């Protein structure tokens, strides 16, 4: 092997071959595939969100346990994360430490649609959303990154003119003749 030049040696000092950043790439790709995240930036955004929540939880832990401000804000944080669906119980502050990117990805609309058996898999659900076949409450949703809260989970439905809604009604023999006039 040839002797490295001065500038090459300097560059190599900045690179750590033991803790290479790409080693965690397999885990990231696995999550991106499972939840149909199309860009790495989406994963990074969820990762930053988790980091901010954990940082807030750490600051709350540093306060005195008898502090009224701490107790009120711990309850508010746990309640907010529970209502979002990111943690399974609204009783435990320890659940905030177990918060992951997957916790937020599970609340994405395509994943919720798959869980509600509105779609076969997350990729098909993503296509349905992008094509404008799904609404949450009264709002048409075309962004697959839409986070569904526990309260709005029951409000995920098909749009009025959706071919999927019509197909399901035909299959269940619930088609109204008036609807066929469109």
pLDDT tens track for 89-135? 888 899 999 999 999 999 999 999 999 999 999 999 999 999 999 99
pLDDT tens track for 122-180? 999 999 999 999 999 999 999 999 999 999 999 999 998 889 888 888 888 887 766 55
pTM greater than the 0.85 cutoff: no
* Boundary of a domain, candidates 86, 105, 124: 105
- Residue-level pLDDT at 5: 86
* Boundary of a domain, candidates 44, 71, 105: 105
Q: Is residue 53's pLDDT more than 90?
A: yes
Within this chain, do residues 95 and 127 fall inside the same structural domain, yes or no?
Answer: no
The structure tokens 């994360």 sit at 81
Cβ 175 vs Cβ 153: under 8 Å: no
Structural domain span for residue 124: 109-181
- Residue-level pLDDT at 7: 83
- Residue-level pLDDT at 177: 65
103's tokens: 């916790």
Within this chain, do residues 62 and 84 fall inside the same structural domain, yes or no?
Answer: yes
> Measured on CA atoms in the order 65, 66, 69, 73, is the torsion positive or negative?
positive
Within this chain, do residues 53 and 76 fall inside the same structural domain, yes or no?
Answer: yes
Burial of 119: CB neighbours in 10 Å, binned 0-12, 13-18, 19+: buried
Q: 13: pLDDT confidence band, cut at 50, 70 and 90?
A: confident
- Residue-level pLDDT at 71: 94
With CA atoms as reference, report the closest residue to 156 among 133, 174, 179: 133
- Residue-level pLDDT at 90: 86
105's tokens: 């990805």
Q: Is residue 24's pLDDT more than 90?
A: no
128 part of a folded domain:
yes
Within this chain, do residues 125 and 149 fall inside the same structural domain, yes or no?
Answer: yes
Within this chain, do residues 150 and 88 fall inside the same structural domain, yes or no?
Answer: no
- Residue-level pLDDT at 106: 96
1 part of a folded domain:
no
* Boundary of a domain, candidates 105, 133, 165: 105
Q: How many CB atoms lie within 10 A of CB 133?
A: 22
Q: What total number of domains does the chain contain?
A: 2
Within this chain, do residues 31 and 101 fall inside the same structural domain, yes or no?
Answer: yes
- Residue-level pLDDT at 8: 82
């Amino acid at each position: 092997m040839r002797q490295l030049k001065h500038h090459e040696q300097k560059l190599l000092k900045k690179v750590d071959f033991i803790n290479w950043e790409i080693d965690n790439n397999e885990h990231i790709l696995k999550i991106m595939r499972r939840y149909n995240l199309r860009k790495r930036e989406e994963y990074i955004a969820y990762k930053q969100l988790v980091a901010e929540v954990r940082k807030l939880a750490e600051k709350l832990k540093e306060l005195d346990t008898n502090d009224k401000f701490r107790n009120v804000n711990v309850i508010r944080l746990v309640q907010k994360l529970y209502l979002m669906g990111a943690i399974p119980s609204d009783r435990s502050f320890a659940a905030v430490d177990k918060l992951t990117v997957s916790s937020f990805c599970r609340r994405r609309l395509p994943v919720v649609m798959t869980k509600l058996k509105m779609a076969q898999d997350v990729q098909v659900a993503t296509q349905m959303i992008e094509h404008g076949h799904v609404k949450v409450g009264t709002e048409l949703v075309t962004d697959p990154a839409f986070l569904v809260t526990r309260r709005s989970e029951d409000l995920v439905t098909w749009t009025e003119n959706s071919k999927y809604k019509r197909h399901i009604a035909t299959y269940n023999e619930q088609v109204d003749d008036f609807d066929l006039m469109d």
